[in-house]
Chains A and B, each alone.
Chain A
Amino acid sequence: MQADVERLLARLLTDEAFRQRFLAEPTRIAREEGLSESEARAAADMCVQDLQTAARSYQHKRDSKGQRRPRSWLTGWFKTTR
């Protein structure tokens, strides 16, 4: 089902240990996540390099968000215009 595929993708993009298990045995792991036989085969056919680069990019974006402190632009503006 669509929801199962989305959940698999979400885990692959956020959980490195899960991603490594998937890359070692993609069809089996996809089946374990509730995907049908044809869905599991399609998931297993995903380009490994695409997945690895995407996961790294998502991690970078999450890290960047975590480091970015909410900043008052008013405070910053007052500082620059003083």
Chain B
Amino acid sequence: MTGDRVGLGWRPELAAGIFDSLDQIDVLEVIADNYFDARRREREALKMIARQVSVQIHSIALGLAGTEAVSRQRLDRVARLVNEIEPEAWSEHLAFTRAGDVEIGHLAAPPRTEASVEAAVQNLERASSVVGSKPLMENIATLIDPPCSDLSEPAWIVNIMAASGCGLLLDLHNLYANSINFGFDPLQFLSSLPLARIGGVHIAGGQWVTAPDGSKSHLVDDHLHDVSEPVYELLRALAARAPNPLTVILERDGAYPPMPALLQELQCARDALAAGRHRRQG
């Protein structure tokens, strides 16, 4: 199997290192929200980058899986950026980020119900219409098992993918963290997904935190730590089963190691993909 690619989340702090290493980076993923208010020269620079390397746009605050209709103003900003940069794909999260007059400020998992499937599909239709293409939709990490859910997470994802026609951006660390925090088998979860619809993969690291009363620990997806071996193993398992080429993005949002260490993580991802593809052939 050829065509698998490995890339990195574009972060200003990594700019110099990324430019020096473009021969080892197949794809860059740019956080859309960081460019909504960017000066013209910043956006021009982003266009210049997009001419040198494949770019994907990752939006983080539309709240497309919430009951509330997605804001037209927010969609227009994504559409403007997508029109300007002409990325090969854009993506968002299977999450809600606001409810009523409450801005959560981060991604939250809604109750997994037919109602939230329907709401997500309506928002995705609106988003696709305004932006001009369907987003890839990412599974999120959650520390709360959303109450009032009557669908399992994979069933909920499958239903949204099927009804919206959107592809899946499979975040393997989110999957791993949820499997640890809620005690399910990540490989079984993987088997439940429409693997042919996977249009992208995220890998990242996290850390263990203890509840304030000290009684329970959770694995938190913080993007501040190295990718752990179980996530690479999930990538191997995915590569062994997924029928299409995979594009893997390493997400890192702080505590940046030296660039060679990040490049080494990209190499580990390439190795995991190759090992998985080898398993598939074997």
Contact = CB atoms under 8 A, between A and B. Distances in A.
B159 interface: no
Interface size class of A (residues with CB under 8 A): 35 or more
B144 A9 contact: yes
Interface in A40-65: 42-43, 45-47, 49-54, 56-58, 61-62, 64-65
B12 A49 contact: no
B100 interface: yes
A52 B211 contact: yes
A3 interface: yes
Contacts of B66: 6
A6 B145 CA distance: 13
Given A49-B211, A61-B106, A62-B105, A76 B15 contact: yes
A7 B102 contact: yes
B102 A53 contact: no
A72 to B, nearest CB: 6
Contacts of B260: none
Nearest to B12: A73
A1 B142 CA distance: 21
A54 B212 CA distance: 11
Contacts of B116: 2
B39 A72 contact: yes
Interface string A67-82: 0001111101100110
B42 A73 contact: yes
A77 B16 contact: yes
B147 interface: yes
Nearest to A65: B105
B98 interface: yes
Contacts of A7: 99-100, 102
B115 interface: yes
B4 interface: no
A49 to B, nearest CB: 4
Interface in B94-113: 96, 98-100, 102-106, 108, 110-111, 113
Contact of A9 (B15, B108, B213): B108
A56 B106 CA distance: 12
Interface in A1-36: 1-3, 5-7, 9-11, 13-15
Given A50-B218, A72-B12, A76-B12, A2 B102 contact: no
Interface in B166-204: 181
Interface string B100-134: 10111110101101011001000000000000000
A9 B42 contact: no
B23 interface: no
Interface of A: 1-3, 5-7, 9-11, 13-15, 38-39, 42-43, 45-47, 49-54, 56-58, 61-62, 64-65, 70-74, 76-77, 80-81
